[in-house]
Amino acid sequence: MPVSALLPLLPSAAPRLKERVFRIDCELSYEVSAPTDFVFLVHALDDPEQRISGESIAFHSKVPFHVFADPTQGHRFTRVRAEAGRFTLLYRALVRKRPFARDLQAPEHPVHELPDHVLHNLAPTRYCESDHLGRAALQLFGDLPPGHPRVQAIADWIHEHIEYAIGSTGPTTTAREVFVQRAGVCRDFAHLGITFCRALNIPARLAVGYAHFDEPPPDFHAVFEAWLGGRWVLFDPTKMSQVEDLVRIASGRDAKDVAFATLFGPARMLSMNPQIEAVGRLKL
Amino acid sequence: MPVSALLPLLPSAAPRLKERVFRIDCELSYEVSAPTDFVFLVHALDDPEQRISGESIAFHSKVPFHVFADPTQGHRFTRVRAEAGRFTLLYRALVRKRPFARDLQAPEHPVHELPDHVLHNLAPTRYCESDHLGRAALQLFGDLPPGHPRVQAIADWIHEHIEYAIGSTGPTTTAREVFVQRAGVCRDFAHLGITFCRALNIPARLAVGYAHFDEPPPDFHAVFEAWLGGRWVLFDPTKMSQVEDLVRIASGRDAKDVAFATLFGPARMLSMNPQIEAVGRLKL
Amino acid sequence: MPVSALLPLLPSAAPRLKERVFRIDCELSYEVSAPTDFVFLVHALDDPEQRISGESIAFHSKVPFHVFADPTQGHRFTRVRAEAGRFTLLYRALVRKRPFARDLQAPEHPVHELPDHVLHNLAPTRYCESDHLGRAALQLFGDLPPGHPRVQAIADWIHEHIEYAIGSTGPTTTAREVFVQRAGVCRDFAHLGITFCRALNIPARLAVGYAHFDEPPPDFHAVFEAWLGGRWVLFDPTKMSQVEDLVRIASGRDAKDVAFATLFGPARMLSMNPQIEAVGRLKL
Amino acid sequence: MPVSALLPLLPSAAPRLKERVFRIDCELSYEVSAPTDFVFLVHALDDPEQRISGESIAFHSKVPFHVFADPTQGHRFTRVRAEAGRFTLLYRALVRKRPFARDLQAPEHPVHELPDHVLHNLAPTRYCESDHLGRAALQLFGDLPPGHPRVQAIADWIHEHIEYAIGSTGPTTTAREVFVQRAGVCRDFAHLGITFCRALNIPARLAVGYAHFDEPPPDFHAVFEAWLGGRWVLFDPTKMSQVEDLVRIASGRDAKDVAFATLFGPARMLSMNPQIEAVGRLKL
């Protein structure tokens, strides 16, 4: 690792009671055949729910890069222009997560009680055509009592009816297609959850991050959040992860907002290896 | 009616025991702004299940026309070229229908036992993308015991989940879209039934004809047929008609095969009035 | 107009040299059958390019309402909950617009030179599937020299190939469908322009506002903007408006961001009448 | 080859003047994991344009099979039920093809002059949504003089605008999608040609068969036919084959009618090797 020194990832401060600490180690590798612009979204989010104790980003070739934050959500994009050749990104972080107390009685809110800043999470987006799935959502979930259990029922329905099948979907697959073909991967599951929620006037958005799971190869994980009881609540319709342990990178309206890498140029991914490890609940 | 004399529609022969007799009176009217080729499909089918006792076709302007039969199914198309102006077709028929004894225990047949001539009714078509709805069909109906009750369950599911909504679909709407948007009219209901059947390897096709129903304005009706117990069995997922009383015009793979009118030229429908009347079960 | 007094719309200050002044008078009327939440986007944008000299908003029934601004773009949404009955919004404004000097030599910028805040305008959105139209955009416009003339060529191509046909599209129609069917209305034209630009790595977005045109009934207008020469430049592929005279309401990624009205509840539009009138270039 | 003896493929009769003779040798191999029904379409068509001098079909396991002919087109399907295990089909034929004299002045026919039996080749089908591409076809080809050169222009346009890219499409890809994404393989090229023709009221259909080409791996080939000058005329928009040398298997409305293999059961193709060899123009 010749270029930018990776920081030693020692906790900068003693974690608070009941915090969980995770170590992130993410390597992305590309074969670049001509100068290519990358916009990466790999930094763990630094916000009151999860604090970055230390982090570093480095590239396997001496390139200038630039980090900027989304003005409303705060997640951080990294822009970098790679020359032809092999190109590797390395990101490491130590993250302290607050425990999340899930309120199983959290209510839905009528539209007129929603805060201004979540209203746009009711609109259809590229991957989540809630305008097409209105009647289907009402049929499936319209008679359930509103609130956390209804959104949980959405996640459960998806888990039961959508087959987790790597390769069944691609970068243009939308929730409507997933609803029809009944197969997809984690982001498709999440998109369908978002779509059903919005169709029921429940604000919903995508959350992406680092998650640990046993079986599939290491990958970024995508789940969805619904606005319940005055805050965002996570749901994982794949049931592959403990959503409480997701180290969040970003949240957005759908995967177009929060792709982990966007490429402008002829490059091909060689490998991805986003590792996460729980380093224990540090004691006082 | 200046041109071709309409036949007097008297039963040409005494109906057999338990036959039902129907009188068809169908008028279609168009405003034609430049010479337009029409291919009509309005003749009642003449086959062992229903016999034509008498019929006539006429046009409100002196035009040559030409009738030809589909080489495999036998339904009759009428080709006619209309000049600019108002253009009206009048079709009348007297039809004797044999009673259809529905066998509620009729079995499905495994693919290797299907006769050659129904095999093509397993393939997806323009309006019936059974290749997209395979998993959904299996989820909904895959665990039901095969046979007539399963196809009835398909018709019932459609009746319960698809809203009958005039104007909700158009000439390009497919079963996949109807499955998503959960609304349509009779032919959409039928297309979805066909699609589910084919996805389950049950040969299915569209049947169109004259039907009596109370509420909607007079229109041609579309239902679907499934191959059960070695013959075609009708199902009407709209539950608006007595399928046994459908005076069949034609059957085809989907509505593209059996549109009641196909136009080549600038013409606009002014009115359609396909009437059917039961004239009683004639006694010996 | 019983409730909130409409402001007298007199210019609050002498306009600057070469400014154009427009008077907006917009009335939207609905039949509401049960309590319905509306989110309107009718306020003219107040920014350095166009200044609000005076404005008022009022409703034909005594309802509380709430105005909030988009945190990054500044356009103002109005939230209001209407009870059953007739419901009418009246918005008036007097707007001073700075002249816009169009630079016909404005260049495109390579991705690595784009500012952070326009990067997201390269991504596909609900209505603008630039991920599907990449090859088509390259075929049509890839060989043209980059810069303002290329984006003008996009607008010209759309004008030439897409038929302006009211009723040919609906609220779910996307740019991909418009590209296939070759018909649409102003927002479809704009969405297709945005889509081609993004497919060529030119940031693009939708601009909506008040525009004067002769033939179609009064309506909000939608055009598109491309990032050229370091700023947003307007194009109107319908060629129905003078884009320089558009009184902007908002800009967004596509029409989902900037619908003039979003409804949650059973209401039906009775009439819309967004009027704009040039009140002259006030002299010093 | 233990089971059914392959016929010695010697010309059964002296070929007529200018006939071309081709030897077909086609092997298809599958891994079958549970009993699977196959419907193969590999027999060369036996009709006045091409005569079968000798042929044989055999399977690498002792299975009963059944051959039946399409009632209107005459192509022959082979039905066979394979047990679990490796399953191989071998088809060999010797085919004499008449020379096809292409008439570059062949006219299109107005709809009212089309024979009854080609009318259905004007309708949209599963893969050829000519109802969606009407305006596009008119824009691209509507101003060209009708006849053979216009259909050649369609084939040329496709060759120029659609990238031949193996893997860019799949079994559900339609002509509309190919028109948007501008990539596909031979059958996609043919489907788009059919779609444009039908949108212009030129009857068109798919022809599949054995063709020799240099670069891609051996595969069945698909081209399209248009009804010109009172007969079907072949066009290959891929320009990979000499269409005159295509040994036809079948023609159909689109690939759903004439798939070389349709499977009902869990089987996976291991290899396909449809070979064709010109054995010379036999002299008298």
User: Residue B178: enclosing H or E segment and its boundaries?
Assistant: helix B175-181
Q: pLDDT tens digits, residue range B7-18?
A: 444 445 555 667
Retrieve residue A172's tokens: 């243009």
Distance between D165 CA and the closest CA of chain C, angstroms: 12
CA distance C232 to C100: 11
Is residue D11 classed exposed, middle or buried when 0-12, 13-18 and 19+ CB atoms within 10 A define those classes? middle
CA distance D82 to D32: 7
Alpha-helical (H) ranges within chain A are 134-141, 148-161, 175-181, 186-199
Determine, for residues A180 and B133 on separate chains, whether the beta-carbon distance falls below 8 Å.
yes
Q: pTM for this structure?
A: 0.92
Mean pLDDT, residues A186-200:
98
Determine, for residues B163 and A136 on separate chains, whether the beta-carbon distance falls below 8 Å.
no
Kindly report the length of chain D: 284
Determine, for residues A172 and C79 on separate chains, whether the beta-carbon distance falls below 8 Å.
no
Q: pLDDT tens digits, residue range A66-80?
A: 999 999 999 999 999
Chains with at least 3 CB pairs less than 8 angstroms from chain D: B, C
- Share the mean pLDDT of chain C: 92
Degrees, nearest 5: CA angle A258-A260-A262: 90
pLDDT at B62 (0 to 100): 82
CA distance C182 to C224: 18
Q: pLDDT tens digits, residue range B22-44?
A: 999 999 999 999 999 999 999 99
C-D CB pairs within 8 A amount to 29
- Share the mean pLDDT of chain A: 92
pLDDT at C18 (0 to 100): 78
pLDDT at C282 (0 to 100): 52
**Cβ contacts of residue D253 below 8 Å, gap of 6+?**
D120, D121, D123, D125, D128, D205, D206
* B→A interface, C-beta within 8 Å: 132-133, 135-136, 139, 161, 163, 176, 179-183
DSSP structural state of residue A180: H
Q: pLDDT tens digits, residue range C171-220?
A: 999 999 999 999 999 999 999 999 999 999 999 999 999 998 777 677 89
CA distance A202 to A153: 14
B2 band by pLDDT with thresholds 50, 70 and 90 = very low
Q: pLDDT tens digits, residue range C122-131?
A: 999 999 999 9
Sole residue written with tokens 């081609």: C196
pLDDT at B14 (0 to 100): 54
Q: pLDDT tens digits, residue range A255-280?
A: 999 999 999 999 999 999 999 999 86
Sole residue written with tokens 């509840």: C265
- Share the mean pLDDT of chain B: 92
Q: pLDDT tens digits, residue range B148-177?
A: 999 999 999 999 999 999 999 999 999 999
CA-based nearest residue to A38, from C253, C200, C111, C116: C111
Side-chain half-sphere exposure of C165, counting CA atoms within 13 A: 13
The fold for domain A20-99+261-278 equals: Immunoglobulin-like (2.60.40)
CA distance C191 to C178: 9
- C270 compared with C13, residue with greater pLDDT: C270
Is residue B247 classed exposed, middle or buried when 0-12, 13-18 and 19+ CB atoms within 10 A define those classes? buried
pLDDT at D170 (0 to 100): 94
Determine, for residues A119 and C39 on separate chains, whether the beta-carbon distance falls below 8 Å.
yes
**C134-141 helix and C148-161 helix, angle to the nearest 10 degrees:** 110
**Cβ contacts of residue D131 below 8 Å, gap of 6+?**
B171, B172, D124
Mean pLDDT, residues C252-276:
96
- Chain A residue with Cα closest to C116: A68
ipTM over 0.85: yes
Mutate which of B159, B182, B188, B196 to disrupt the A interface (most A C-beta within 10 Å)? B182
Retrieve residue B262's tokens: 């196909």
pLDDT at D133 over 60: yes
- Chain D residue with Cα closest to C160: D139
Mean pLDDT, residues B189-213:
96
Query: Residue ranges of the domains in chain A?
Result: 20-99+261-278, 111-252
A216 band by pLDDT with thresholds 50, 70 and 90 = low
Retrieve residue D154's tokens: 């369609």
Q: pLDDT tens digits, residue range D238-251?
A: 999 888 889 999 99
Determine, for residues C71 and A68 on separate chains, whether the beta-carbon distance falls below 8 Å.
no
Mutate which of C177, C179, C180, C192 to disrupt the D interface (most D C-beta within 10 Å)? C180
Count of Cβ atoms closer than 10 Å to residue A21 Cβ:
18
What are C58's strand-pairing partners? C90
**Strand ranges across the sheet with A221-228:** A231-235, A221-228, A204-210, A247-252
Determine, for residues C172 and A129 on separate chains, whether the beta-carbon distance falls below 8 Å.
yes
DSSP structural state of residue A125: B
The fold for domain D111-252 equals: C8orf32 fold (3.10.620)
A-C CB pairs within 8 A amount to 66
**Cβ contacts of residue D145 below 8 Å, gap of 6+?**
none
